Amino acid sequence: MIFENQKYTVQLDDKGAIVSLISGGKQFLKTRLPLLNLQLRSGEKTEILNSDDAKSIDICKADDTITIKYDFDDLVVSASLVFGNRIEANFSFENHTGMYVEWVDFCQYAIPNDLVARGGSGKIVVDVNEGLLLEDISLKEQFYPYKYRPMNYPSEGLYSMFPAVIQSQFLSYYDDAAGIYMAAEDSERSIKGIDIGPLDDAIKMQFRLYPGINADVADYNLPFNLVIDFFKGDWHDAAELYRTWFEANLPENLTAIEENKTLPEWYSDSPLVVTYPVQGIHDTDPSGPNRLFPYNNALPYLEEIGEATGSRIMSVLMHWEGTAPWAPPYVWPPVGGAEMLADFGKELHKRDYILGVYCSGISYTLQSNINDFNMQKEFDENNLSQYMCASPTGELISKTCQAQRKSYDMCISQDFTKNVLLEEARKMASCGLDYIQILDQNHGGTPYFCFSDKHGHPAVPGKWMVDHMTDFLKKLKGIVGEKVLLGCESAAAESYLPYMNLSDNRFNLNGYVGKFIPLYGYIYHKYLQNFSGNSVCSLDIFDIKRSPDSYLLRAAHSFLAGDFMTLVINQDGQIAWAWGERDFSYLPDRKAVLNFIKLATAYKRGVGKKYLTFGSMIKPCKVVSDTVLMYKTNQERYTEYQKVLTTAWESSDGTRAQFMANYCNTAEKVTIDLTNTNGADLIDENGNIIGMLDAAVCQLEIKSNSVQMIKFK
């Protein structure tokens, strides 16, 4: 069967599998896959079926639509595909097996592995950790947290799950000829596995859908469509397709920053986040005050940085818990007591500064590995195991931060889980905090997989997880109040955007396997900002001796994404490369870092505010500069970046601007293609016009460690 229009040609075989997929002269299909796979589960027993092996297959064609019925005896799956301007796919099933339909891999296809690393021009776009551009599938497979693997129990923070570290519901591939885009248009934003996996000379683009219904529910209809569309361009064009759908289907209670009257006034003032521990110097150090404790000891360093950068400082504390660092759920009281922390908050507020803290997510600590904090007795006496995420056999295991603690993951469906975290949040809010990164380790705000049949939820993953997390976050906002903002590790996934307005970005982690791109900012920035996080693992990604510009590369990326920049300082107030560092004998160029932040902040707080704070990202005019090699730590492998990065923005009044950041320590010449514009003005940080550019390919020189704005006419 062949379906053809001006945009694409698709061919299916007699089992309903896609065997050809052509658009823009590009054959997007490399390997034939069954149209769908699914897994049945009953406790620990599982069975995988695929559509090729159905007892019978009936296909009906009517105009531009086909329906396919796959009969597996006690299970009948019906799929429909509509071939209009784009492909829209859906399925339903009748299940009389007595087993759960745990997941369905639907509308399967595999693209050719002609990525850049293989000599082609192909690139893959995934909204993982705020945006990944992948040019080499082998690198993804070499780094375990990103490696393709089925999601299962126990949960892992970097599973390719939505809504979690996968923050949006789409995948895309493009090359110099054309691009393909696949998305789940699910306004309920339920659990999915969205990933790419290697095959022989091919790459599987996978959407694993979790119905999340009880085994005794016979009839199920997928409440949304999977869509496949085609485009010409790059990652911006794929992001635009998704944003168009997203803005027509906003999550309940989500409001644009410019219109959101519940946000504190500092939120739109581009504060500079300064984060540091008050105990130890490293993630797993034993407890014990360092030279930044008592809390007020940090004030001289914060004031110095604030004055040098012209910034409003937001202090975000690590290792502040009086129990044990990274030992949830009990964080209270703070080390030194509530009064001491409250006094520090008052001192910050006198300076018009802001106070925040890191927390540690939805786990229950039995024993800290950092100090002698132990909750085993309470756990046993109160039979708390009944509230933990369990395997299909009832076994309790956690993989979450076990270097710091022995713990189990708490099931979000349980009242105990919600209530204990709400009570800890109430205590924190009473101490004058402005920000709580409440869900560290729950990347994107995700809860964990639980297969318990005793919790009242289906004994498989599903929408119940999102519903319970949303319920918890609503209650949490009610406890802490509007002026205390909440966040998580990695930016908030789409389901949780209305409740976590400021999160701890982890875009730097994408440097392990590819390039980080401001994809999250393109889609969501109009509705929330984030901060660039404590940069943990950056020393494992960038060889700082061979690639010293990597520090300002990260700062420039954060600025251009419209987020708050972040400094990590050590106990002597020195700017560190990242959290997790022990050796401070070689440090970033402090003067260059502070000067860059000063200039970037001046733009964001002033003439660029309506774009970088309130605006929406748009596809920029093409900027070309020389490139720099960012070497991987202890490897000869490197990633090539342009020395000048850029993003473009549109404000609510329709005006447009573009920003260019030179993060290198030498002036750089660039060309910018303005041929499809009316020209532009060069704008300095004070809003003055310092030059004019014609509607042509223009040359500019960008000073070292600096930012340049142009405003389109």
Per residue in 130-148, pLDDT tens? 999 999 999 999 999 999 9
287 has a pLDDT exceeding 90? no
Q: What is the CATH number of the domain that holds 130?
A: 2.70.98
Whether residues 334 and 216 share a domain: the answer is no
C-beta of residue 277 within 8 angstroms of C-beta of residue 318: yes
Global confidence as pTM: 0.97
What token pair was written down for 339?
Answer: 């009064």
Whether residues 445 and 378 share a domain: the answer is yes
What is the SS3 assignment for 385? helix
Whether residues 597 and 643 share a domain: the answer is yes
526 within domain boundaries:
no
Round to whole Å and give the CA distance between 184 and 89: 10
Average pLDDT, the chain: 97
Q: What is the CATH number of the domain that holds 677?
A: 2.60.40.1180
522 within domain boundaries:
no
587 within domain boundaries:
yes
CA-CA-CA-CA torsion sign (158, 159, 165, 171): positive
pLDDT band of residue 682 (cuts 50, 70, 90) is: very high
- Residue pointed to by tokens 């260059």: 592
The C-alpha angle 512, 516, 517, rounded to 5 degrees, equals: 165
Round to whole Å and give the CA distance between 359 and 675: 49
Length of the chain equals 713
Whether residues 312 and 358 share a domain: the answer is yes
Neighbours of 462 (CB within 10 A): 21
522: closest CA among 242, 178, 117? 242
Whether residues 483 and 536 share a domain: the answer is no
| Per-residue pLDDT at 224 | 98
Whether residues 555 and 592 share a domain: the answer is no
Whether residues 74 and 145 share a domain: the answer is yes
525 within domain boundaries:
no
The last residue of a domain, from among 199, 231, 248: 248
Round to whole Å and give the CA distance between 507 and 132: 8
521 within domain boundaries:
no
| Per-residue pLDDT at 442 | 96
518-556 tens-digit pLDDT? 999 999 999 999 999 999 999 999 999 999 999 999 999
Bridge partners (DSSP) of residue 465 are: none
Instruction: State CA 603 to chain mean position distance.
Output: 26
The last residue of a domain, from among 224, 248, 272: 248
556 within domain boundaries:
yes
Bridge partners (DSSP) of residue 181 are: 172, 229
Whether residues 337 and 363 share a domain: the answer is yes
Whether residues 551 and 597 share a domain: the answer is no
Whether residues 554 and 573 share a domain: the answer is no
Helix residue spans in 54-142 (DSSP H): 137-142
The last residue of a domain, from among 231, 248, 265: 248
506: closest CA among 132, 227, 33? 132
Instruction: State CA 378 to chain mean position distance.
Output: 35
208-267 tens-digit pLDDT? 999 999 999 999 999 999 999 999 999 999 999 999 999 999 999 999 999 999 999 999
State the amino acid at position 325 in one-letter form: P
Taking only Cα atoms into account, the Rg of the chain, rounded to an integer number of angstroms, comes to 26
| Per-residue pLDDT at 665 | 95
Whether residues 225 and 340 share a domain: the answer is no
505 has a pLDDT exceeding 90? yes
State the amino acid at position 401 in one-letter form: C
| Per-residue pLDDT at 400 | 95
Q: What is the CATH number of the domain that holds 334?
A: 3.20.20
C-beta of residue 231 within 8 angstroms of C-beta of residue 238: yes
The domain in which residue 579 lies consists of 532-545+569-713
286 has a pLDDT exceeding 90? no
The C-alpha angle 440, 441, 443, rounded to 5 degrees, equals: 95
List C-alpha distances in Å: 308 to 68, 351, 590, 628.
66, 15, 10, 28
Whether residues 122 and 83 share a domain: the answer is yes
